[in-house]
Each structure stands twice: as C-alpha cells, then as structure tokens.
Amino acid sequence: MPLVDSLKLLQKQMRSRSFSYILEQLIKDAENGQFLSGSLKQFRGVFEDLFINIVRIGETGGILADNLEHLSVELKKRRALHQKIRAAFIYPAIVLFAMTAVIGVMIFFVLPRITPIFASLNIKLPLTTKILIFTSTFLINNWMYIIAGLIVVVVGFGLLLRIKIIRFFWNRIILYLPLAGSISRKAAISDLSRTLSLMLKSGMKIVEALLITSDSIANLVYRKAFRDAAEVVKRGESLNSFLKTRGDLFPATVSQMIEVGENTGTLGENLLYLADFYEDEVDEATKNLSSTLEPVLLLVMGVIVGFIAVSIITPIYKMTQPL
C-alpha cells in the first residue's frame, strides 16, 4: 500500500482528534512529495528522535516497512518494561494510603473526642499519651499550613529538577538507593541496549546511534555516559573498552557481551539479548520489591496504630485501678 493511502487509512481509524490532525498534516506533506521523517519533525512532542531517525534511515535505505516493524516491536517491549516498574509500586502505594487514612481518622476524629476526657482525669498521663495529644493538637491547629508546606516542597522540588545539573545529581542519587537503585540501573541498561540494537539493525552508524540512544534515556547519568562513549568510539576505540571503565554503571556482563558482539559482528543481536536479559532482571527485581516492602509497610502501620492504641488505653486503665 502506498504511504499516503496507509496514512489515510490510519486517520479513518483514529479516535483522537489531535492525532487525527497530525495525520492530516503528514498526509498533506506526503502528497506534496515530502519525506515522512521530515514531516514528523514538526511534531517532536509526539514522535521522539528515535522514531524520526528510524523512519529516516528506512526511507533512505528503502526498508521503511521493516524499520517500522522493528520499531513497533521494540517500543511495545519498552512500554511493557515501564508498566512492570509502575505496577511494582501500586501495592505499596495502596498500603501507604491506607496507613495514612487510618492514622488521619484516629488523629482528626477519634482523639479530639477522647482528649477532653483525659484532661478531666486526675491522673498523671503517660509520656506516650502526652506525645499523642500534642501531635494531634498540633496537626489539627496547623493542618492547612502543613498541606500548604507540602505543596510548596513538591512544586519546588519539581521546579528544581528542571535544572539540568540538579536533575543529574538526583538521577545519580536514585542509582545508589537500595532496591530502587538496582531497578533503575537494570531498566536503564535494558532501554539503552534495546534502543541501540534497533538503531544498528536499521543501518545507522555506531556513533550516530550512540548519540540518538543517549537522548532516548531519561536518566541523565546514563545519557552522559553514552555521549562519552560516542566520543570514544569516534576516536577509533571500541565501545566495550569504554564500558569497562564505567563499571559503576555497566556490569561486566554488559561490556563482555558487547565485546563479543564487536569481535564477531553480532553487536545488534547481543544488545538485544542484553535487553531481554535485563528486562527479566527488572521483572524479578520488581517482584522482590513488592514482597520486601509489603511486610515493612505493614509492620510500620502496626507499630503506629499500636502506639496510638496503647496511648489511649493506658490512661483509661489507670483510671479504673483502685487508688
């Protein structure tokens, strides 16, 4: 099917008005004889550089259909990987929300009704009860300021992350966090390997492929590493020689598999193997993350609820005891 007819068919099936408009522009440009890759550059907010360059190489080499098929498969796998990572945090987030809701109900609704009773008792309140009453009173009297402060902190942190140097150091900190750091490293390596493999299989030169691959990764630490790798390869050195010097980011498995691929001419296939390997590693790590965080969160929730219960029951127990 000709390109214009293919785009028109896609437009008929499209439910999104905004994307239908984009397809309309692509159809007009194609009818006027423009390359599809050139038209896609108008919509960089929708089509990333990876997509545009894969299309460009396919048009130049006459293998556009093959490149689009490779791109479809690899993007689908990348999306599946990201969904696994997000899914791993759903259960801990639900437990955390439930814990916050339970504590909030006890502090804002239960304690205010019990505190006047404690004040009327002619007994010495335990330290835990005093701490609980003070915390409850402080939160009730200042909850608006606390929420406003949290909003300011979150918004301020988000604005700070827009500064490249701060985001770079934040990305580095994430890589060294327990559990989350391991998942971030493996996910980044899987993404980079899959994207670089796709670039090379589509016929792109290694230096250009490294630069485009670096732009496709969100973590600035790995982005800088791949840009440095491109400079090293441009000087005539091998990619694996650079990766061996960055063992903090790339395990020995990565550099060795790439070395074998460079020596045997199977770099694209070896990168794809690494991508699948680390995707499985991420899948396993996310399962371990959920199973590790679950008991920890439940334990924390139990300790907090137990502290509140003891703080309430102890004065009542003292009141019922004979003098």
Give the single-character DSSP code of 124: P
Please give the Cα distance from 130 to 62 (Å, whole number).
Answer: 77
Q: Which of 224, 206, 222 is nearest to 261 (CA)?
A: 206
Average pLDDT of the residues in 69-78: 82
pLDDT tens, 200-215? 887 788 888 888 888 8
Residue with tokens 């301020």: 156
Task: Say what the pLDDT of residue 228 is.
Answer: 92
Virtual torsion, Cα 237, 242, 245, 246, nearest 10 deg? 170
pLDDT above 90 coverage of the chain, percent: 14
Sequential DSSP letters for 161-183 = TTSHHHHHHHHHHHHTSTTHHHH
Average pLDDT of the residues in 52-77: 82
Highest average pLDDT, of 101-115, 127-141, 237-251, comes from: 237-251
Conformation bin of residue 205: beta by default, left when phi > 0, alpha when psi is -120 to 50: beta
Main-chain phi, psi angles of 48, to 5 degrees: -75, 170
Cβ proximity of 254 and 205 under 8 Å: no
Query: Rounded to whole angstroms, how far apart are CA atoms 32 and 166?
Result: 45
How far, in whole angstroms, is CA 181 from its chain's centroid? 11
Which domains can be identified in the chain, with CATH numbers?
Answer: 3-73 (no CATH), 74-323 (1.20.81.30)
pTM of the predicted model, to two decimals?
0.73
Matching residue, tokens 């670089």:
196
